[in-house]
Chain A
Amino acid sequence: VPAPETYPEDLKYHSEHDWARIEGDEAVMGITWFAQDALGELVHFEAPAVGSSTTKDQPYGEVESVKAVSDVIAPLSGEILDVNQKVVDEPETVNDDPYGDGWLLRIRLADPGEVDALMDVDAYKAHVAEQ
């Protein structure tokens, strides 16, 4: 059963359909319900290495469905502290639970000020409605 369309209120959103959950000077990141739905069932996550960095608005990895491949865009810059191995092993976790078990990366924020440029849930929902 596919996950229902949801956009949690406590997350920050990037226009390329990525989310970030800010936890102090760290952030957990993933792709939104809209992104996973557009791709279909994920069958591969090409993950970056722990210790490397993300750069805001730049791709840090790829997600693939049976039919398509898509860059994953970093909503924020920082050092990669952790990669979700469960998604590497079972990419469909993202479809089942895009904001929970389907998270992709944890980073240490390089510039907490970048958070201000992200969308809140209402702005992102409006953005999705335009797609």
Chain B
Amino acid sequence: VEATLLRTPLYARHVSLGARMVPFAGYEMPVQYESVIEEHKAVRTDAGAFDVSHMGEIHVDGPTAQEFLQSMLSNDIDRLGDAEAQYTLLTNDAGGIVDDLIAYRFGHGQFYLVINASNRAAVYGWLKEREPRGCEVRDASDEYGLVAVQGPRALERLGFSEAPAFTHGMGELDGVEVMVARTGYTGEQGVELCCAEDDTLALWDAILARGVRPCGLGARDTLRLEVCYPLHGNDITTDTDAISAGLGWTCALDKEFSGAAELRRIKEEGPSRRLVAFVMEERAIPRQGMPIEGGGEVTSGTHSPMLDVGIGMGYVPTGQATPDTELVVDVRGKPRRARVVKKPIYQPTKEDEE
């Protein structure tokens, strides 16, 4: 029996906007409205809006919350000030990645985690099971709507003033109260807006009325891959570790957290394989699961709308991980040449460079 798919508060609006709906992480989500490529380019040149209400939100509150999260998450949460946010990992005892997430600090003993929809049960279960005295872990995913507005003109279109990346605060957009976070998954400037579930539709309509283009999960994936942001389930999983994935910078190895000892060992010995970014040198589009000659494997692949070539990420033996190394991807039985490149594959234009 197929499980019933969940819907975000914007489901009916997506349908009326002509979106093609697909199952994703247990939800019916828009993969595109009119065109993945046009939506992608809108985010790179102007502004696009994404319904990410399917993502999970977990509150971790109490006098021992910080100490608890410091022992659970890979990054150093003690460095997080009020109104700041931090990209971090939840790791298992073997150093595998249970999820990658953003931790927000509101104040002393007040934290909020935004996690991948597909890992909601795993992350909540993991934390709840280990919840110490003096700390409450609460899954608040169904209480909030979440909309990302991304692109070089995102802030201008919303009438928001500039703020440093990875900061957040309370705000208001056309009468809707929102938590504004300077975070995102596209490599562009932008915000993620969190509101009460019942306000999501009003928020979305207000954003679109300001000339922001609705964008689906298709563009979200091509945007994140161009800038080499890993996708949990593809590029990072419970079977991959942060060091091999190039996420060592998110791991404070001088503290204790699950898997820290194993990660220290991998770092010291050097990982046997690494997650690299590559660009196809022949006409072909790499896809997840394709073998790379020499023992590697593609973990994410697509067509880059900005570069108009096939691009991807994948694990290769360390000897093949240096930028400029030629790779051969097995594209359904046909060998196709690719080249390892420095991350990111595509560098978004910074406004001050224009």
Which residues of B, 216-235, contact A by the 8 Å Cβ criterion?
Answer: 218, 221-222
A residues with a Cβ closer than 8 A to B are 2, 40-41, 43-44, 46, 62, 64-67, 69, 88
For the complex, give the distance between the alpha carbons of A103 and B126 in Å. 54
Q: Which of B221, B284, B285: most chain A CB closer than 10 A?
A: B285
Min CB gap B319→A, angstroms = 30
**Are B218 and A67 interface neighbours, CB within 8 A?**
yes
Q: How many A-B residue pairs have CB under 8 A?
A: 38
**Are B34 and A2 interface neighbours, CB within 8 A?**
yes
Residues of A within 8 A of B284 (CB): 44, 46
**Are A62 and B332 interface neighbours, CB within 8 A?**
yes
**Are B36 and A41 interface neighbours, CB within 8 A?**
yes
**Are B37 and A69 interface neighbours, CB within 8 A?**
no
Q: Does B274 contact A (CB under 8 A)?
A: no
The 4 closest A-B pairs by CB, nearest first: A43-B303, A66-B36, A64-B285, A66-B303
For the complex, give the distance between the alpha carbons of A66 and B311 in Å. 11
Closest to A68 in B: B287
Residues of B within 8 A of A62 (CB): 332
Closest to A71 in B: B332
Min CB gap A43→B, angstroms = 4
Residues of B within 8 A of A41 (CB): 35-37
Closest to A43 in B: B303
Min CB gap A40→B, angstroms = 6
**Are B35 and A43 interface neighbours, CB within 8 A?**
no
For the complex, give the distance between the alpha carbons of A69 and B301 in Å. 12
For the complex, give the distance between the alpha carbons of A46 and B285 in Å. 10
For the complex, give the distance between the alpha carbons of A67 and B218 in Å. 7
For the complex, give the distance between the alpha carbons of A88 and B35 in Å. 20
**Are B303 and A64 interface neighbours, CB within 8 A?**
yes
Given A62-B332, A66-B37, A67-B218, residue A40 in contact with residue B32 (CB < 8 A): yes
**Are B36 and A69 interface neighbours, CB within 8 A?**
no
For the complex, give the distance between the alpha carbons of A11 and B310 in Å. 34
Q: Does B283 contact A (CB under 8 A)?
A: yes
Q: Does B77 contact A (CB under 8 A)?
A: no
Residues of A within 8 A of B37 (CB): 41, 43, 66
**Are A66 and B218 interface neighbours, CB within 8 A?**
yes
